Structure 1
Amino acid sequence: MRQIILDTETTGLDPLQGDRVIEVAAVELVNLLPTGAVFHRLVDPQRDIPAEATRIHGFTNGDLAGKPRFADIIAELVSFLGDAPIIAHNAPFDFGFLDAEFRRCGVQPLDRGRMIDSLALAKQRYPGMPNSLDALCRRLGVDNSMRSSHNAILDCRLLAEVYLELMGGKQPGFELAAALASRAETLAVGETVAWTPRPILVSEPQATDHATFLQAKVKDSLWLKPPFAGAP
Protein backbone atom coordinates (compact mmCIF):
# COMPACT_ATOMS: atom_id res chain seq x y z
CA MET A 1 0.00 0.00 0.00
CA ARG A 2 1.80 3.11 -1.25
CA GLN A 3 0.86 6.49 0.23
CA ILE A 4 2.48 9.93 0.19
CA ILE A 5 2.90 12.35 3.12
CA LEU A 6 2.91 15.91 1.73
CA ASP A 7 3.49 19.40 3.10
CA THR A 8 3.97 22.87 1.64
CA GLU A 9 5.22 26.21 2.90
CA THR A 10 3.83 29.37 1.32
CA THR A 11 4.10 33.15 1.22
CA GLY A 12 0.73 33.51 2.97
CA LEU A 13 -2.64 31.94 3.60
CA ASP A 14 -4.67 32.55 0.43
CA PRO A 15 -3.69 31.46 -3.08
CA LEU A 16 -6.63 33.44 -4.47
CA GLN A 17 -4.94 36.61 -3.19
CA GLY A 18 -1.69 35.81 -4.97
CA ASP A 19 0.11 33.82 -2.27
CA ARG A 20 2.47 31.21 -3.69
CA VAL A 21 4.19 27.95 -2.74
CA ILE A 22 7.84 28.31 -1.67
CA GLU A 23 8.58 24.75 -0.49
CA VAL A 24 7.17 21.34 -1.39
CA ALA A 25 8.08 18.13 0.43
CA ALA A 26 6.76 14.60 0.09
CA VAL A 27 7.71 11.34 1.82
CA GLU A 28 6.78 7.91 0.47
CA LEU A 29 5.11 5.35 2.74
CA VAL A 30 4.57 1.68 1.99
CA ASN A 31 2.35 -0.15 4.45
CA LEU A 32 2.41 2.97 6.69
CA LEU A 33 6.22 3.04 6.99
CA PRO A 34 8.64 5.48 5.28
CA THR A 35 10.69 3.85 2.51
CA GLY A 36 13.37 6.55 2.40
CA ALA A 37 12.11 7.94 -0.93
CA VAL A 38 11.71 11.72 -0.57
CA PHE A 39 10.80 14.67 -2.81
CA HIS A 40 11.93 18.10 -1.56
CA ARG A 41 12.23 21.35 -3.49
CA LEU A 42 12.49 25.04 -2.64
CA VAL A 43 10.64 27.23 -5.12
CA ASP A 44 11.03 30.84 -6.28
CA PRO A 45 7.53 32.28 -5.64
CA GLN A 46 8.13 35.21 -8.04
CA ARG A 47 6.94 37.63 -5.36
CA ASP A 48 8.10 39.03 -2.03
CA ILE A 49 7.71 36.97 1.14
CA PRO A 50 5.94 39.01 3.85
CA ALA A 51 7.74 39.34 7.18
CA GLU A 52 4.89 37.60 9.02
CA ALA A 53 5.32 34.53 6.79
CA THR A 54 9.08 34.55 7.35
CA ARG A 55 8.47 34.47 11.11
CA ILE A 56 6.56 31.21 10.66
CA HIS A 57 8.81 29.23 8.30
CA GLY A 58 12.06 31.20 8.37
CA PHE A 59 12.45 31.65 4.59
CA THR A 60 13.41 35.06 3.19
CA ASN A 61 13.51 36.43 -0.35
CA GLY A 62 17.26 35.82 -0.38
CA ASP A 63 16.85 32.14 0.52
CA LEU A 64 14.78 31.54 -2.61
CA ALA A 65 16.67 33.69 -5.08
CA GLY A 66 17.79 31.53 -8.00
CA LYS A 67 15.63 28.57 -7.00
CA PRO A 68 13.50 26.90 -9.71
CA ARG A 69 10.00 28.14 -10.36
CA PHE A 70 7.06 25.85 -9.72
CA ALA A 71 6.69 25.20 -13.45
CA ASP A 72 10.24 23.79 -13.41
CA ILE A 73 9.47 21.16 -10.75
CA ILE A 74 5.88 20.20 -11.50
CA ALA A 75 6.68 17.26 -13.79
CA GLU A 76 9.02 15.73 -11.21
CA LEU A 77 6.48 16.30 -8.44
CA VAL A 78 3.65 14.67 -10.40
CA SER A 79 5.90 11.70 -11.19
CA PHE A 80 6.82 11.24 -7.51
CA LEU A 81 3.19 11.46 -6.36
CA GLY A 82 2.06 8.91 -8.94
CA ASP A 83 -1.51 7.80 -8.26
CA ALA A 84 -1.02 7.20 -4.51
CA PRO A 85 -3.31 8.66 -1.82
CA ILE A 86 -1.86 11.91 -0.42
CA ILE A 87 -1.84 12.59 3.33
CA ALA A 88 -1.46 16.13 4.65
CA HIS A 89 -2.24 17.88 7.93
CA ASN A 90 -5.06 20.30 7.15
CA ALA A 91 -4.95 18.89 3.62
CA PRO A 92 -7.42 21.36 2.03
CA PHE A 93 -4.86 24.12 2.66
CA ASP A 94 -2.05 22.31 0.81
CA PHE A 95 -4.34 21.08 -1.96
CA GLY A 96 -5.71 24.60 -2.44
CA PHE A 97 -2.22 25.97 -3.05
CA LEU A 98 -1.26 23.08 -5.31
CA ASP A 99 -4.49 23.53 -7.27
CA ALA A 100 -3.55 27.17 -7.93
CA GLU A 101 0.03 26.31 -8.91
CA PHE A 102 -1.08 23.45 -11.18
CA ARG A 103 -3.62 25.67 -12.96
CA ARG A 104 -1.00 28.38 -13.37
CA CYS A 105 1.14 25.79 -15.15
CA GLY A 106 -1.74 24.57 -17.30
CA VAL A 107 -1.81 21.18 -15.53
CA GLN A 108 -4.91 19.38 -14.26
CA PRO A 109 -5.14 19.76 -10.44
CA LEU A 110 -4.80 16.71 -8.22
CA ASP A 111 -7.92 14.62 -7.71
CA ARG A 112 -9.43 15.55 -4.33
CA GLY A 113 -10.49 11.92 -3.97
CA ARG A 114 -6.82 11.15 -3.25
CA MET A 115 -6.75 13.55 -0.30
CA ILE A 116 -6.45 12.20 3.26
CA ASP A 117 -6.63 14.90 5.93
CA SER A 118 -4.74 13.76 9.03
CA LEU A 119 -6.16 16.73 10.95
CA ALA A 120 -9.69 15.45 10.33
CA LEU A 121 -8.60 11.96 11.43
CA ALA A 122 -7.09 13.39 14.62
CA LYS A 123 -10.26 15.36 15.40
CA GLN A 124 -12.30 12.17 15.10
CA ARG A 125 -9.97 10.34 17.47
CA TYR A 126 -9.44 13.23 19.90
CA PRO A 127 -12.58 15.38 19.72
CA GLY A 128 -12.37 18.70 21.54
CA MET A 129 -8.59 18.45 22.04
CA PRO A 130 -5.76 20.40 20.39
CA ASN A 131 -4.81 18.54 17.22
CA SER A 132 -2.03 20.61 15.69
CA LEU A 133 1.01 18.64 14.55
CA ASP A 134 2.94 19.76 17.64
CA ALA A 135 0.06 18.77 19.96
CA LEU A 136 -0.20 15.34 18.35
CA CYS A 137 3.56 14.80 18.60
CA ARG A 138 3.41 15.49 22.34
CA ARG A 139 0.33 13.29 22.84
CA LEU A 140 1.65 10.36 20.82
CA GLY A 141 5.23 10.47 22.05
CA VAL A 142 6.80 11.63 18.76
CA ASP A 143 10.00 13.62 19.29
CA ASN A 144 9.56 17.08 17.75
CA SER A 145 12.26 18.83 19.73
CA MET A 146 14.07 19.88 16.54
CA ARG A 147 11.00 21.72 15.20
CA SER A 148 11.83 25.36 15.97
CA SER A 149 9.98 26.63 12.86
CA HIS A 150 7.74 25.26 10.13
CA ASN A 151 9.72 23.25 7.60
CA ALA A 152 8.01 21.11 4.98
CA ILE A 153 10.40 18.16 4.93
CA LEU A 154 10.69 17.98 8.72
CA ASP A 155 6.92 18.30 9.07
CA CYS A 156 6.46 15.43 6.59
CA ARG A 157 8.74 13.18 8.61
CA LEU A 158 6.97 14.04 11.86
CA LEU A 159 3.56 13.56 10.27
CA ALA A 160 4.65 10.14 8.98
CA GLU A 161 5.23 9.06 12.60
CA VAL A 162 2.01 10.68 13.80
CA TYR A 163 -0.02 9.07 11.01
CA LEU A 164 1.42 5.65 11.86
CA GLU A 165 0.24 6.13 15.45
CA LEU A 166 -3.19 7.40 14.35
CA MET A 167 -3.63 4.28 12.23
CA GLY A 168 -2.59 1.97 15.08
CA GLY A 169 0.57 0.83 13.32
CA LYS A 170 2.64 0.42 16.51
CA GLN A 171 0.30 -1.96 18.31
CA PRO A 172 2.19 -4.81 20.05
CA GLY A 173 0.84 -7.35 17.59
CA PHE A 174 2.33 -5.45 14.67
CA GLU A 175 5.71 -5.24 16.40
CA LEU A 176 5.68 -8.97 17.15
CA ALA A 177 4.76 -9.77 13.55
CA ALA A 178 7.61 -7.57 12.32
CA ALA A 179 10.06 -9.29 14.66
CA LEU A 180 8.96 -12.74 13.48
CA ALA A 181 9.20 -11.67 9.85
CA SER A 182 12.70 -10.32 10.45
CA ARG A 183 13.74 -13.61 12.10
CA ALA A 184 12.30 -15.59 9.21
CA GLU A 185 14.33 -13.56 6.70
CA THR A 186 17.59 -14.45 8.52
CA LEU A 187 17.05 -18.23 8.32
CA ALA A 188 19.13 -20.05 5.76
CA VAL A 189 17.34 -22.23 3.23
CA GLY A 190 16.43 -25.51 4.91
CA GLU A 191 17.25 -24.21 8.39
CA THR A 192 14.73 -25.00 11.10
CA VAL A 193 14.03 -23.30 14.39
CA ALA A 194 14.48 -25.47 17.50
CA TRP A 195 11.47 -25.60 19.78
CA THR A 196 10.54 -27.39 22.97
CA PRO A 197 7.07 -28.91 23.42
CA ARG A 198 5.30 -27.58 26.51
CA PRO A 199 2.29 -29.84 27.15
CA ILE A 200 -0.37 -28.69 29.57
CA LEU A 201 -0.52 -31.28 32.36
CA VAL A 202 -3.58 -31.88 34.53
CA SER A 203 -3.84 -33.63 37.86
CA GLU A 204 -5.61 -36.96 38.34
CA PRO A 205 -8.62 -35.35 40.15
CA GLN A 206 -8.97 -32.83 37.31
CA ALA A 207 -8.91 -35.62 34.71
CA THR A 208 -11.55 -37.59 36.67
CA ASP A 209 -13.81 -34.52 36.98
CA HIS A 210 -13.45 -33.85 33.25
CA ALA A 211 -14.38 -37.44 32.32
CA THR A 212 -17.39 -37.35 34.66
CA PHE A 213 -18.59 -34.09 33.10
CA LEU A 214 -18.25 -35.47 29.57
CA GLN A 215 -20.19 -38.64 30.38
CA ALA A 216 -22.98 -36.67 32.04
CA LYS A 217 -23.26 -33.67 29.71
CA VAL A 218 -21.82 -34.47 26.28
CA LYS A 219 -23.44 -37.12 24.12
CA ASP A 220 -21.06 -39.41 22.23
CA SER A 221 -18.05 -37.28 23.20
CA LEU A 222 -14.92 -37.61 21.04
CA TRP A 223 -12.83 -37.04 24.16
CA LEU A 224 -13.95 -40.44 25.49
CA LYS A 225 -12.78 -42.24 22.31
CA PRO A 226 -9.30 -43.10 21.01
CA PRO A 227 -6.89 -41.47 20.60
CA PHE A 228 -8.07 -39.07 23.29
CA ALA A 229 -9.39 -41.56 25.82
CA GLY A 230 -6.76 -42.31 28.42
CA ALA A 231 -4.40 -39.66 27.08
CA PRO A 232 -2.37 -37.84 29.76
Structure 2
Amino acid sequence: MSRALILDTETTGLDPATGDRVLEVAAIEVVNLMPTGRHFHKLINPERDVPPEATKVHGFTASMLADKPLFAAILPELLEFLRDDPVIAHNAPFDFKFLDYEFDRCDTPRIPRSRMVDTLEMAKKRFPGLPNSLDALCRRFGIDLSARTTHNALLDVQLLGQVYLELMGGKQPGLELATTLGGSRTSLATTAGPVARTPRPIVNTPEELERHAAFVGKLKEPVWASLG
Protein backbone atom coordinates (compact mmCIF):
# COMPACT_ATOMS: atom_id res chain seq x y z
CA MET A 1 0.00 0.00 0.00
CA SER A 2 1.39 3.39 -1.04
CA ARG A 3 0.07 6.24 1.12
CA ALA A 4 0.64 9.95 0.49
CA LEU A 5 -0.93 13.27 1.40
CA ILE A 6 -1.91 16.02 -1.02
CA LEU A 7 -1.57 19.36 0.76
CA ASP A 8 -2.28 23.03 0.16
CA THR A 9 -2.02 26.19 2.25
CA GLU A 10 -3.48 29.66 1.95
CA THR A 11 -1.53 32.55 3.43
CA THR A 12 -1.63 36.27 4.14
CA GLY A 13 1.03 36.91 1.49
CA LEU A 14 4.02 35.52 -0.33
CA ASP A 15 6.88 35.49 2.17
CA PRO A 16 6.97 34.43 5.83
CA ALA A 17 10.26 36.32 6.20
CA THR A 18 8.26 39.56 5.93
CA GLY A 19 5.67 38.44 8.48
CA ASP A 20 3.19 36.56 6.33
CA ARG A 21 1.41 33.64 7.99
CA VAL A 22 -0.62 30.53 7.16
CA LEU A 23 -4.37 30.97 7.50
CA GLU A 24 -5.66 27.70 6.00
CA VAL A 25 -4.28 24.16 5.71
CA ALA A 26 -5.94 21.30 3.88
CA ALA A 27 -4.77 17.80 3.03
CA ILE A 28 -6.35 14.66 1.63
CA GLU A 29 -5.13 11.09 1.94
CA VAL A 30 -4.43 9.05 -1.19
CA VAL A 31 -3.60 5.36 -1.24
CA ASN A 32 -2.30 3.85 -4.47
CA LEU A 33 -2.91 7.28 -6.06
CA MET A 34 -6.64 7.28 -5.21
CA PRO A 35 -8.34 9.47 -2.55
CA THR A 36 -9.61 7.48 0.42
CA GLY A 37 -12.09 10.11 1.62
CA ARG A 38 -10.02 11.00 4.69
CA HIS A 39 -9.03 14.65 4.89
CA PHE A 40 -7.66 17.34 7.18
CA HIS A 41 -8.89 20.93 6.96
CA LYS A 42 -8.40 23.86 9.33
CA LEU A 43 -8.88 27.61 9.16
CA ILE A 44 -6.30 29.41 11.31
CA ASN A 45 -6.08 32.78 13.02
CA PRO A 46 -2.91 34.26 11.45
CA GLU A 47 -2.50 36.74 14.34
CA ARG A 48 -2.20 39.64 11.90
CA ASP A 49 -4.14 41.50 9.22
CA VAL A 50 -5.00 39.97 5.85
CA PRO A 51 -4.06 42.37 3.04
CA PRO A 52 -6.81 43.09 0.49
CA GLU A 53 -4.75 41.61 -2.34
CA ALA A 54 -4.57 38.30 -0.44
CA THR A 55 -8.31 38.39 0.26
CA LYS A 56 -8.92 38.71 -3.48
CA VAL A 57 -7.11 35.39 -3.97
CA HIS A 58 -8.69 33.22 -1.26
CA GLY A 59 -11.64 35.27 0.03
CA PHE A 60 -10.65 35.33 3.72
CA THR A 61 -10.48 38.46 5.87
CA ALA A 62 -8.99 38.96 9.33
CA SER A 63 -12.46 39.27 10.88
CA MET A 64 -13.49 35.90 9.39
CA LEU A 65 -10.49 34.25 11.06
CA ALA A 66 -10.48 36.06 14.41
CA ASP A 67 -12.19 33.18 16.27
CA LYS A 68 -10.20 30.39 14.62
CA PRO A 69 -7.47 28.43 16.44
CA LEU A 70 -3.81 29.40 16.27
CA PHE A 71 -1.43 27.27 14.22
CA ALA A 72 0.10 25.78 17.38
CA ALA A 73 -3.31 24.43 18.36
CA ILE A 74 -3.89 22.57 15.10
CA LEU A 75 -0.31 21.31 14.69
CA PRO A 76 -0.64 18.03 16.68
CA GLU A 77 -3.63 16.96 14.61
CA LEU A 78 -1.85 17.94 11.39
CA LEU A 79 1.23 15.91 12.31
CA GLU A 80 -0.91 12.90 13.21
CA PHE A 81 -2.61 13.09 9.82
CA LEU A 82 0.60 13.54 7.80
CA ARG A 83 2.56 10.88 9.70
CA ASP A 84 5.79 10.01 7.83
CA ASP A 85 4.37 9.73 4.32
CA PRO A 86 5.17 11.80 1.20
CA VAL A 87 3.56 15.25 1.02
CA ILE A 88 2.44 16.32 -2.46
CA ALA A 89 1.77 19.97 -3.31
CA HIS A 90 1.65 22.21 -6.37
CA ASN A 91 4.65 24.53 -6.18
CA ALA A 92 5.54 22.61 -3.05
CA PRO A 93 8.52 24.79 -2.01
CA PHE A 94 6.08 27.66 -1.39
CA ASP A 95 3.93 25.60 1.00
CA PHE A 96 6.93 24.01 2.68
CA LYS A 97 8.52 27.43 3.22
CA PHE A 98 5.46 28.57 5.16
CA LEU A 99 5.16 25.29 7.06
CA ASP A 100 8.85 25.56 8.00
CA TYR A 101 8.19 29.00 9.47
CA GLU A 102 5.13 27.86 11.43
CA PHE A 103 6.88 24.71 12.67
CA ASP A 104 9.89 26.77 13.79
CA ARG A 105 7.58 29.09 15.76
CA CYS A 106 6.19 26.01 17.50
CA ASP A 107 9.68 24.57 18.13
CA THR A 108 8.72 21.48 16.10
CA PRO A 109 11.00 19.63 13.63
CA ARG A 110 10.30 20.55 10.02
CA ILE A 111 8.92 18.10 7.46
CA PRO A 112 12.02 16.70 5.68
CA ARG A 113 12.41 17.85 2.09
CA SER A 114 12.91 14.19 1.16
CA ARG A 115 9.15 13.77 1.67
CA MET A 116 8.25 16.67 -0.65
CA VAL A 117 6.70 15.92 -4.06
CA ASP A 118 6.17 18.96 -6.32
CA THR A 119 3.48 18.47 -8.98
CA LEU A 120 4.52 21.75 -10.64
CA GLU A 121 7.95 20.30 -11.39
CA MET A 122 6.32 17.09 -12.59
CA ALA A 123 4.08 19.09 -14.94
CA LYS A 124 6.98 21.17 -16.28
CA LYS A 125 8.84 18.01 -17.26
CA ARG A 126 5.78 16.55 -18.96
CA PHE A 127 4.59 19.78 -20.61
CA PRO A 128 7.70 21.93 -21.11
CA GLY A 129 6.98 25.47 -22.23
CA LEU A 130 3.22 25.25 -21.52
CA PRO A 131 1.22 26.89 -18.70
CA ASN A 132 1.29 24.51 -15.75
CA SER A 133 -0.79 26.26 -13.09
CA LEU A 134 -3.39 24.12 -11.32
CA ASP A 135 -6.12 25.74 -13.42
CA ALA A 136 -4.21 25.09 -16.66
CA LEU A 137 -3.60 21.44 -15.76
CA CYS A 138 -7.24 20.90 -14.82
CA ARG A 139 -8.33 22.28 -18.20
CA ARG A 140 -5.72 20.14 -19.98
CA PHE A 141 -6.93 16.97 -18.27
CA GLY A 142 -10.64 17.83 -18.56
CA ILE A 143 -11.16 18.25 -14.79
CA ASP A 144 -14.20 20.31 -13.75
CA LEU A 145 -13.19 23.75 -12.45
CA SER A 146 -16.69 25.21 -12.08
CA ALA A 147 -16.53 25.29 -8.25
CA ARG A 148 -13.16 27.06 -8.12
CA THR A 149 -14.11 30.72 -7.76
CA THR A 150 -11.38 31.39 -5.17
CA HIS A 151 -8.24 29.54 -4.02
CA ASN A 152 -9.89 27.44 -1.32
CA ALA A 153 -7.30 24.99 0.06
CA LEU A 154 -9.69 22.06 0.49
CA LEU A 155 -11.06 22.36 -3.04
CA ASP A 156 -7.54 22.83 -4.41
CA VAL A 157 -6.25 19.59 -2.89
CA GLN A 158 -9.24 17.71 -4.26
CA LEU A 159 -8.50 19.08 -7.74
CA LEU A 160 -4.78 18.41 -7.31
CA GLY A 161 -5.57 14.81 -6.38
CA GLN A 162 -7.13 14.36 -9.82
CA VAL A 163 -4.24 16.17 -11.52
CA TYR A 164 -1.68 14.02 -9.65
CA LEU A 165 -3.41 10.85 -10.80
CA GLU A 166 -3.19 12.07 -14.41
CA LEU A 167 0.47 13.08 -14.04
CA MET A 168 1.22 9.60 -12.72
CA GLY A 169 -0.37 7.99 -15.76
CA GLY A 170 -4.10 8.36 -15.20
CA LYS A 171 -4.61 4.82 -13.92
CA GLN A 172 -4.76 3.39 -10.44
CA PRO A 173 -2.47 0.40 -9.88
CA GLY A 174 -4.63 -2.68 -9.25
CA LEU A 175 -7.65 -0.81 -10.60
CA GLU A 176 -10.98 -2.46 -10.00
CA LEU A 177 -13.44 -2.00 -12.83
CA ALA A 178 -17.15 -2.10 -12.20
CA THR A 179 -19.97 -2.81 -14.58
CA THR A 180 -23.68 -2.66 -14.04
CA LEU A 181 -25.57 -5.60 -15.52
CA GLY A 182 -29.34 -5.71 -15.11
CA GLY A 183 -29.13 -3.34 -12.16
CA SER A 184 -26.54 -5.45 -10.31
CA ARG A 185 -22.95 -4.31 -9.77
CA THR A 186 -20.22 -6.73 -10.80
CA SER A 187 -16.58 -6.10 -9.85
CA LEU A 188 -13.88 -7.11 -12.25
CA ALA A 189 -10.61 -6.92 -10.31
CA THR A 190 -7.25 -7.10 -11.97
CA THR A 191 -4.86 -9.79 -10.75
CA ALA A 192 -1.12 -9.84 -10.42
CA GLY A 193 -0.70 -13.39 -11.74
CA PRO A 194 -1.12 -14.83 -15.24
CA VAL A 195 -4.63 -15.02 -16.64
CA ALA A 196 -5.81 -18.37 -18.03
CA ARG A 197 -6.96 -18.06 -21.63
CA THR A 198 -8.74 -20.53 -23.93
CA PRO A 199 -7.02 -20.86 -27.34
CA ARG A 200 -9.20 -19.86 -30.28
CA PRO A 201 -7.48 -21.12 -33.47
CA ILE A 202 -8.56 -19.56 -36.75
CA VAL A 203 -9.71 -22.26 -39.20
CA ASN A 204 -10.22 -21.22 -42.82
CA THR A 205 -13.13 -22.57 -44.82
CA PRO A 206 -12.46 -24.44 -48.09
CA GLU A 207 -13.86 -21.46 -50.00
CA GLU A 208 -11.40 -19.09 -48.28
CA LEU A 209 -8.49 -21.42 -49.05
CA GLU A 210 -9.53 -21.62 -52.70
CA ARG A 211 -9.75 -17.82 -53.05
CA HIS A 212 -6.36 -17.41 -51.39
CA ALA A 213 -4.76 -19.97 -53.75
CA ALA A 214 -6.22 -18.15 -56.76
CA PHE A 215 -4.85 -14.82 -55.49
CA VAL A 216 -1.37 -16.23 -54.83
CA GLY A 217 -1.36 -17.83 -58.30
CA LYS A 218 -1.49 -14.37 -59.86
CA LEU A 219 1.70 -13.23 -58.07
CA LYS A 220 5.22 -13.57 -59.51
CA GLU A 221 7.35 -15.82 -57.31
CA PRO A 222 5.13 -15.39 -54.24
CA VAL A 223 6.86 -15.92 -50.91
CA TRP A 224 3.87 -17.90 -49.69
CA ALA A 225 4.68 -20.66 -52.23
CA SER A 226 7.86 -21.50 -50.31
CA LEU A 227 5.98 -21.93 -47.02
CA GLY A 228 4.64 -25.24 -45.92
Assess same fold via TM > 0.5: yes
Q: Which amino acid aligns with 2:187?
A: R
In the other structure, the counterpart of 2:134 is 133
Q: Distance in 1 between matches of 2:108 and 2:198?
A: 64
Give the Å deviation of 1:213. Answer: 4.0
Q: Which has the higher helix share?
A: 1
Give the Å deviation of 1:65. Answer: 1.1
In the other structure, the counterpart of 2:20 is 19
Structure 1: gaps spanning 5 or more residues: 186-195, 215-232
Give the Å deviation of 1:62. Answer: 1.3
In the other structure, the counterpart of 2:6 is 5
Q: 1:90-169 counterparts in 2 under 5 A?
A: 90-169=91-170
Spell out structure 1 runs of 4+ moving beyond 4 A: none
Aligned length: 201
C-alpha deviations, 1:126-167, integer Å up to 9, x for none? 000000000000001010111011010000000000000111
Q: Which amino acid aligns with 1:143?
A: D
Q: Distance in 2 between matches of 1:71 and 1:154?
A: 24
In the other structure, the counterpart of 2:81 is 80
CA contact (8 A) 2:176 2:188 kept: no
Q: Under a length normalisation based on structure 2, what TM-score does the superposition of the two structures give? A: 0.81
Q: Distance in 2 between matches of 1:161 and 1:41?
A: 21
In the other structure, the counterpart of 2:177 is 179
Give the Å deviation of 1:197. Answer: 5.9
Q: Secondary structure at the match of 1:28?
A: strand
CA contact (8 A) 2:44 2:65 kept: yes
Q: Under a length normalisation based on structure 1, what TM-score does the superposition of the two structures give? A: 0.79
The 1:115/1:197 distance shift into structure 2, 3 A limit, reads closer
Q: Distance in 2 between matches of 1:144 and 1:94?
A: 22
In the other structure, the counterpart of 1:59 is 60
Q: Distance in 1 between matches of 2:16 and 2:155?
A: 23
Q: Distance in 1 between matches of 2:48 and 2:160?
A: 29
Structure 2: gaps spanning 5 or more residues: 180-185, 190-196, 211-222
CA contact (8 A) 1:32 1:169 kept: no
Q: Secondary structure at the match of 1:80?
A: helix
Q: Secondary structure at the match of 2:26?
A: strand
Q: Which amino acid aligns with 1:183?
A: S
CA RMSD of aligned residues (A): 2.7
Give the Å deviation of 1:180. Answer: 6.9
CA contact (8 A) 1:58 1:149 kept: yes
Q: Distance in 2 between matches of 1:197 and 1:30?
A: 35
Q: Distance in 2 between matches of 1:110 and 1:96?
A: 10
Identical counterparts, % of pairs: 57
